[in-house]
Amino acid sequence: MNVLHDFRSDLAPGVVTSHDHDPDWWRGAVIYQIYPRSYQDTNGDGIGDLRGITQRLPHVASLGVDAIWISPFFKSPMLDFGYDVSDYKAVDPMFGSLQDFDALIAEAHRLGLKVMIDQVISHTSDQHDWFIESRADRTNTKADWYVWADAKADGTPPNNWLSIFGGSAWVWDTARCQYYLHNFLTSQPDLNFHNEEVQEALLDAVKFWLERGVDGFRLDTINFYFHDADLRDNPPLAEESRNNTIAPAVNPYNYQSHLYDKNQPENLDFLRRFRALLDEYPAAAAVGEVGDAQRGAEIVAEYTSGTDKVHMCYSFDFLAPDPLTPAKVRDVVEHFEDVAPDGWSCWAFSNHDVVRHASRWADQIADRNAFLKMTATLILSLRGSVCLYQGEELGLTEGLIAFEDLQDPYGIQFWPVFKGRDGCRTPMVWTSNEQHGGFSQNAKPWLPTAPEHLHLSVAQQDGDSESLLNHYREAIRFRQKHRELVRGDISFVQTTGHVTCFTRSCGNSTLFCAINMSGLVADCDAAGKEFVEVVSPGANGEIADGRLRLEPFGTYFARHAG
């Protein structure tokens, strides 16, 4: 099978491709997330690198996606694997050099792929020069660049804020005899966005990468930038709401309603400054990660409304362990449409922080492959943009990691009830018959290659027309051929029982989409509707006597006649 055929040659008129210089390319785009440590090792140290990403870009291009998002590769002590930045303008040597990044950009653009990079600007590493200077004393030029506060009269922290990684969000510093704020690891102090000099320095770092040719950014923890300047205590969260959080159930973070340590109104003005900078570069775009379970959709609405803030955001609605059902899909999408009529969401089922959905939802499914084909068709049919996580196209499950092999401090802290994020970060499997699945030739990978993944390798699935990998290719191609799926409106028709039915409309054209989300034969009402069938990946349905009958995990896409 020639997977590198020119899939763009037969797109519907008006559908924008990734190499076009259209400022709205991001709207409806499919973005492929690469976790660089685990993609491809080329220098034999067991850690993936930038040259490895460049080497594997033809695979990404064969999927037909519009862009890649690369998780952090900046200089860092790697205590949180790159999400603790010590230099925003340098590549960490373990990943290569700036020249390697430039070569990656050039090859991606040659293949028609846009490049988005992670920007982790809510906090830095405690080894960043800014923090080293800031903690030296209370009078230096960067003394106010981080969130410092005096102890209470009894020596305890300034308030009750908690860290997502467990315990108080405050650490005592002996040099300044003050506490500093950290929403994550103690080695990740929070920047003080109330200081305009901090904003200027961060925007300067963003401009540095724009000048090198990046096409956009994924903004880590976008709603954590500002804190309440008065340091007010968070109120308790009602016990019945504690399961609806972004932290594992064993984490006391779930006991608070996080009104004051994040989601502050001042963030909107900073996002306007950020967008103004992006608008100086044609077609640059940004997607923000909204880490909030109670108000996720509302925050996405605030941050993406109009044209003066970020282009799109994603929340944790489909990254939670809750079962995926027609009712869940409708509730999440319609709630977003209600609160953000002019906003834009970016949907994801998996990423580098959560259990892979091939395990989270499919472990109890008899026909896992059919279920995963259905979920691929589903997410690529919803209104919004889409983020796919490396290995999702292969059906990789959560890797089983022994405690002695754990790297993630989050998992080590809450083991064994919560095993951390290492299971979704195991190395990509390129071959079935090479050591470590072709990820690393001569070195032990930083995380073990999951033996149960080897039979799912790219090489194994590439030539199989019925494989999940080729289903993703077909589903993405199908999406890009139909403008209704890329940028059209959405309206739900039915979500009762096992079938979700909705329409996607663009201009005078409407697609009817029906997806059986169960392993049982199911049907839905099609009375009074005249359709012209449009064959879609995994199509397995027929209309008879006013009912659309769908085989297990079957789909049916049709255009209204006339």
The owner of tokens 């809750």 is 322
CA-based nearest residue to 284, from 218, 355, 192: 218
DSSP string across 379-436:
HTTSSSEEEEETTGGGTPPPP---GGG---HHHHHHTTTS--SGGGSSPP---SSSGG
Neighbours of 323 (CB within 10 A): 11
What is d(CA 525, CA 494) in angstroms, rounded to the nearest whole number? 8
Listed in order, strand segments (DSSP E) in 92-225 are 114-119, 148-149, 170-173, 178-181, 216-219
Helices 267-278 and 196-211: crossing angle in degrees, nearest 10, is 30
- Token reading at 189: 């102090």
Q: Is 408 a catalytic residue?
A: no
186-201: burial string, b at 16+ Cβ within 10 Å, e else: bbbbbbbbebeebbeb
Please provide the distance, in angstroms rounded to a whole number, between the alpha carbons at the two ends of the chain. 37
What is d(CA 85, CA 56) in angstroms, rounded to the nearest whole number? 25
Catalytic residue among 220, 302, 392, 551: 220
Q: Is 404 a catalytic residue?
A: no
Neighbours of 355 (CB within 10 A): 18
Residue 223 burial (10 A CB sphere; 0-12, 13-18, 19+):
buried
Catalytic residue among 280, 342, 404, 466: 280
What is d(CA 378, CA 392) in angstroms, rounded to the nearest whole number? 14
| Strands lying side by side in the sheet with 522-525 | 522-525, 547-550, 541-544
How does DSSP classify residue 375?
H
What is d(CA 51, CA 42) in angstroms, rounded to the nearest whole number? 7
Contacts of 392 (CB under 8 A, 6+ apart): 349, 350, 356, 357, 358, 472
What are the residue numbers of the active site?
220, 280
